């Protein structure tokens, strides 16, 4: 599923957003796009293989920060450090055409509504 890039750019301009935070890197397409439009991009990936691929292929792009781990935990440290509004693209449940649920990655995990974690 492609992000709504036109809408994202409209919101970026309207709210003067410079930070883009993405959960679910996959192959890095959205992070690469965001790096061309935002000053700082943070992307969080739970799959070690996908995280390593992104870091190896795009290590020369200096405004992308790749984080390996559970986005629910990573956001707890990222969000409090923000000193201005940021755009968040919460896409961590998709991995290409295959959906990955948190319970398949971490047995016993029950997903929580994302809006409750960010508000």
Q: Which fold has domain 5-118?
A: Rossmann fold (3.40.50)
Looking at mean pLDDT, say which of 1-10, 35-44, 48-57, 92-101 comes out highest.
35-44
Strands 64-68 and 40-45: parallel
40-81 confidence digits (pLDDT tens):
999 999 999 999 999 998 888 999 999 999 998 999 999 999
Tokens of 76: 């707890």
Is pLDDT at 31 greater than 80 in this prediction? yes
Q: For the beta carbon of residue 53, count every other beta carbon within 10 angstroms.
A: 17
Tokens of 100: 């990955």
Q: Are 55 and 65 in contact (CB under 8 A)?
A: no
- Where are the domains positioned within the chain? 5-118
Tokens of 40: 């700082």
**Chain centre to alpha carbon of residue 70:** 11
Contacts of 111 (CB under 8 A, 6+ apart): 93, 101, 102, 103
CA distance 53 to 8: 26
| Closest to 109 in 3D by CA, of 67, 80, 71 | 71
């Amino acid at each position: 599923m492609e992000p709504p890039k036109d809408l994202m750019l409209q919101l970026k301009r309207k709210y003067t957003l410079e930070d883009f935070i993405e959960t679910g890197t996959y192959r890095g397409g959205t992070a690469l796009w965001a790096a061309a439009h935002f000053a700082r991009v943070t992307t969080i990936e739970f799959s070690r293989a996908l995280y390593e691929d992104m870091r190896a292929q795009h290590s020369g792009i200096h405004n992308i920060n790749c984080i390996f781990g559970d986005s629910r935990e990573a956001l707890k440290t990222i969000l409090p450090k923000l000193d201005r509004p940021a755009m968040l693209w919460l896409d961590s449940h998709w991995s290409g055409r295959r959906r990955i649920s948190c319970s398949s990655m971490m047995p016993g995990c029950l997903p929580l509504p994302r809006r409750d974690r960010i508000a």
